[in-house]
Every structure is written in C-alpha cells, then in structure tokens.
Chains A and B, each alone.
Chain A
Amino acid sequence: MSVATLASTPDELPSIPWLLAGLALLAVVIVTLAVRPQLFISNLVGGLVYGMILMMIALGLSLILGLLGVVNFAHGALFMLGAYGAYQTVALFELPFWLALVVVPIGVGLLGVLMEVTVLRRLYGEDPLIGLLATFGVALMLEEATRAQWGGTPLSFDPPAVLRASVQVGFLEIATTRLFTAAVGALVVGGLYVLMYRTDFGLSIRAGLQDQQMAEFLGIDIPKRFTIVFFIGAAIAGLSGVLRGAEVGMDLGMGMDFVILAFVVIVVGGLGSIFGSVVSALLIGVAVFVTPVMLRAATTVAGLEWLYVSGIGGLMPFLVMIGVLLVRPRGLFGEEGLLE
C-alpha cells in the first residue's frame, strides 16, 4: 500500500546520525549507572518483568491474530478477568494462590472459547474490522460485568508469603514475585514455541494458516483446532492477569490499557514475528521503567532539571512505536507483505 510513503528501509550499516544517537544513549546509561546504580538496575529488572507480562499478552493476541485474522479486543478483558478471578479465589474464597494460578487461567480460557463459539465463529471470512468491533463490544460487556460484580475501585490481594519475600542478588534485592513472573513468562514462551514448532498439533495449525482448504482436505478439523488455539491464547491472558494481580493489584482500566500496549508491542516487533514480539515487549518494558531514571540522572548532571518530564515512562511505548513507524514501517522484524 502506498509504495511511495512506506517503502521498506533497506538493511544498511548504521549511518552517522544513528551512531551518534547510540553513543549518546550509551553515555546516558553510563551517567545513570554512575549517579544511581541501584535504582537503575532495579528498574531494569522491573522493566524486564513488566515486559514479560506484555509479552505473554501480546503472544496470545498475535497467536489469535495470525491464525484467525481477528484482533481480539476482548483479550485485555480476559487478562483483567484473570486478575479479578485470582482476587475472588484468594481474597474472597480464601483458597490458596497456587490453586488460582491453575484454575483461573482454565476458567478464562473456557470463557474465551465461549466467546469464540458464540460470536467470532460467525465472523470468520468477513471484513476483519467487523471482528474487531464485535470483540470490542464483548470487551465492554465484560468490563461492565466486572464493575457490577467487583465494583469500580481498585482491588488487591495478598499473595502467599513466598512471593512477598525478596532475594539478594549481589547488591541487588529482587522481589520474588518478579522472579516468579519472569520464570512463568519464559516457560510460556518456551511452551508455545515447542507447541507450534515441535508438535504435530502445531504443524497442523501452521498448515491451516498457510492453506486452510488444503488442510481441511487432508482431514484436519480446522475449526476445532482454532477453538483450541483460542483457548490457549485466552488462558495465557488469564495467567498473566493472575500474575499481574498478585504483583500490583487490579482495576477496571487494566484490560484496555494492556490490550493497547500488547498491540503496540506487536506493531513494534513486526506483525507475524514471534521473535519480534518477544524482543519488542522486553524493549518496551525496559523503556517504560528505565527512561524516567535515565532522564532524571541526565538532566540532573547536565543541570537542566526543567527538561525532566514527569510520567515520561508511560508515554514510552507510544514514542517507541512512533519512532519505529517512522524509521521502519514494518516493525523491527516484520515481513514484507503482511501489512498490505
């Protein structure tokens, strides 16, 4: 589409402006490390963990997007329900957190299947915007239902003692929730990779992606497999919700916030690239957490405090996205033709 404005940038050696920008960034990192080493490192870790959550949501979203051609707007709402589900289990039913970690994702996954069967299945092959709008309507319903059930004020629950502790790594103290989240995220990515690339199931899914008619001709029940994939995507969203709820609590806005961020992650990473999503999720996560520290340090050292923008962190995903769109319209690892 519009070749003139969106021609792909060829891979070249970094030109001088890029080199300078890189050096400037390096200088700021060194300055920050010198001024506030502890804060920098701990925010780096925080950013990576935040990136892990983003990554899990983005992977579920892009799995469904790649397979079914639908941006599942309700994906964020499922994530939110994961958090509220954990709250219900732990704080209201007073059951163990570990139970919630298993049961809630399954429940959210089943809800996703219900959604797929009742709404989305009718819309495959239609204008993709219709699917987007339908899931958007579902997202609003889920949000409103959540408000009715749990109220509009932010909530939180106490995770088990193990996750409230912290571990000493060198001079750094890392909360165990963060380590746990990172570990689960890594497991999910690894599991998804194995499932999609090392099993017959994954092969049949990818065959369906390539040529649905051919796959059906070979006797593969594509609709059923799509439902399974939808279950997996929704369950991952629920799982990330449980983890996020344990770390920082929950509110009604988190669903929309995170589905937008997850989409930003997909666009930055490049559509259709799992590897790209992983890289960009971590990049954006780190940018959100580290930029404020770096900016603070740099402006303090340079004596230009007025340059410090409060709340720059939350803006970072969008700044990164705009930058990437300007320089590399197809995203960091996007393939030609996927956007057009």
Chain B
Amino acid sequence: MTDTSSDDATEAERVTDDATDPASVTGPGTDHESLDPTEAALGARGLTKRFGELTAVGGVDLAVPEGELRAIIGPNGAGKTTFFNVLTNALEPTAGAVYLHGEEITGTPQYARPHDGLVRSFQSNQLFTEQTVHENVRIVAQTAEQGAFSLDLLGRGRDLATERAHEVLELTELDDLAEETAKNLSHGDQRRLGIAMALATDPSVLLLDEPTSGLGAVETETTADLIEDIQSELGLTLLLIEHDMNIVLSRSDRITVLHRGEVLTTGTPEEIRNDDAVQEAYLGERDEEGSL
C-alpha cells in the first residue's frame, strides 16, 4: 500500500489544484493542504480548542485523502493529542468543523464517531483492565455490531462479536494471549491491544496516538510493520501522532507539523526534512530528545 499511496496523494493533489475552493483559503495553515477538507477521508477546517486563555489548537485545517498514512509531529505541547480529542469530540471544539468522507460530523457525540468509521487509540494504555484480552475486543466488536446502545439481555449478538474479536486478535497477533487478563499484559502487548480494540470498531479512518511510545527499538519496528500491514489489508486512512522520527520519515506518505496549536507546514517526508521552519521549531527540542 505504501508504494502506491504516494501516487494516490499526487493524484489527489492534482484533483484539488483544479478545483480551487475559496473556502479552503481561510485559516492560517490552509495553503499547506492541497485538498478541500470536505473531499478528504478526514478533514478539518479552522478547528480550534481554547481552555480559557490558552489556545491549545488554533484554527487547524486538515485534509487527509483516502488511504493516506499521515503523520502528525510537533514539539511537546504542540497540541497533537488535543487535536485528536477535538477530532473525536472527546473535547468539544471551541470553533471549526470536522468532516468525515465529505460529511460534516462536528456536533455529533463522541460515541457516534466510531460508528461513522472514525476511531482513535490512546497515548496511555487505556483498557478494560479487569477483563480478558478477548473480552476487551469482543465488547468493542459487539458495540460495532449492535450500535451505540443495545438492551441485549439475552445474548443474541454474542456469537457474532466473538467471531469478529477472534479475527481482530489474529490480525494483531494477540490470539495467543486471548484469555489473559488485560492488566497482566506487557506494556507492548497492551499497546497492541489498544490498536486491536480500535480495529474492532471496523474503522475507515484510524487515529493512532503514539502507538510506539514506551517500546524498545525492536518492538517499535514490529509495531510499525503491523500498522503498515493493517493499513494495506484493511484499506484504512491513518492519522498517526509519532515521536520516533525514523518511523515518521520512512513510513508516512505525508507529514503535518503542528507548532503551538497551529499547522506549521504539511508535506512529504522529503520536504519536511529540508524545511527550515520545521528545523527551527524543533531546535529547542532537539537537545532534549534528539529526535529529528
């Protein structure tokens, strides 16, 4: 998929270059995005979140075309996770709009998003800790099957969800651990379970919040491979917050750089590597992390 997706991206660019939508020239970061948000798999226009005086996300425009692996990078405190939170309505945006496959979903409740095909994983290991790996995934699959609410007291939906859970666990290579209690898993397996649960919702757009954080070098590569495999197998559009620059530069189709809650630039790995503004934004960070 990665081999061909760059072609997709260029094609998408060509399409939107023709259709110069006036609406897309509003926010500060607009000129970096080549596609209109309403035509992308996942789009945002002027998305803003303020906490009192503090602007965590300020007028972000985003347009991720179908099938793209887009990385979001930026120094600590750039507002990456908050951006995910407003995209999924875990936090209500102060202003702006979110689009999924051309439809505006800004006001819909958080729990409705996975049913529309937009789901996220968490930066910290968020699990149903007291239950087995299989049950974690099964509950999500059951929800995808039965809807956001179902008063299923007789267990009619159980078998279907069980099957689906097994499929997802196989896909994420967790099937050996299916009967383990979630809280007893290793950190790496917990991270993978988080991804597996997101997949169980049968998403079309997947937001991953630092899927490799806290992992060793080998595990990081395996996880990156896993993510790529999943994307190509399921044909997902991926939005990825990631600190590991090797992964970002080698795996993503395009990269969006957030800085102080705003889009600094968006471009291919090559363009980002050579962007002076990006280098500058990271200068303060580099000493601490040396990540770029």
A contacts, CB < 8 Å to B = 2-4
Contact = CB atoms under 8 A, between A and B. Distances in A.
Interface of B: 89, 92, 109-110
Contacts, number: 6
Contacts of B89: 3
Nearest to B108: A4
Nearest to B109: A4
Contacts of B110: 3
A218 B23 CA distance: 51
A174 B110 CA distance: 56
6 contacts: A2-B109, A3-B89, A3-B92, A3-B109, A3-B110, A4-B109
Interface of chain A: mostly helix, strand, loop or mixed: helix
Nearest to A3: B109
A300 B89 CA distance: 53
A199 to B, nearest CB: 25
A2 B108 CA distance: 11
A4 B92 CA distance: 11
Contacts of B92: 3
Contacts of B109: 2-4
Nearest to A337: B51
B149 to A, nearest CB: 12
Contacts of A3: 89, 92, 109-110
A3 B89 CA distance: 9
Instruction: List 6 A-B pairs, minimum CB-CB distance, nearest first.
Output: A4-B109, A3-B109, A3-B92, A3-B89, A3-B110, A2-B109
A3 B92 CA distance: 8
Nearest to B112: A4
A3 B90 CA distance: 9
Contacts of A4: 109
A4 B109 CA distance: 6
Contacts of A2: 109
A317 to B, nearest CB: 31
A339 B160 CA distance: 37
Nearest to A2: B109
A2 B89 CA distance: 11
A10 to B, nearest CB: 13
Nearest to A335: B52
A261 to B, nearest CB: 32
B147 to A, nearest CB: 15
Nearest to B89: A3
A3 B85 CA distance: 14
Nearest to A7: B92
B94 to A, nearest CB: 11
A3 B110 CA distance: 8
A2 B110 CA distance: 8
A331 B92 CA distance: 20
A53 to B, nearest CB: 35
A2 B90 CA distance: 10
Nearest to A1: B110
Nearest to B90: A3
A3 B106 CA distance: 12
A3 B112 CA distance: 11
A56 B110 CA distance: 40
Nearest to B51: A337
B7 to A, nearest CB: 40
A2 B149 CA distance: 13
A11 to B, nearest CB: 16
A4 B110 CA distance: 9
A2 B92 CA distance: 11
A301 to B, nearest CB: 47
A339 to B, nearest CB: 14
A340 to B, nearest CB: 10
B51 to A, nearest CB: 8
A4 B89 CA distance: 11
B49 to A, nearest CB: 12
A4 B112 CA distance: 11
B54 to A, nearest CB: 13
A6 to B, nearest CB: 11
Nearest to B110: A3
A149 B110 CA distance: 54
B130 to A, nearest CB: 14
A2 to B, nearest CB: 7
A3 to B, nearest CB: 5
A3 B86 CA distance: 13
A8 to B, nearest CB: 9
A2 B148 CA distance: 13
B15 to A, nearest CB: 35
B84 to A, nearest CB: 16
A206 B89 CA distance: 31
A234 B219 CA distance: 54
A146 B92 CA distance: 49
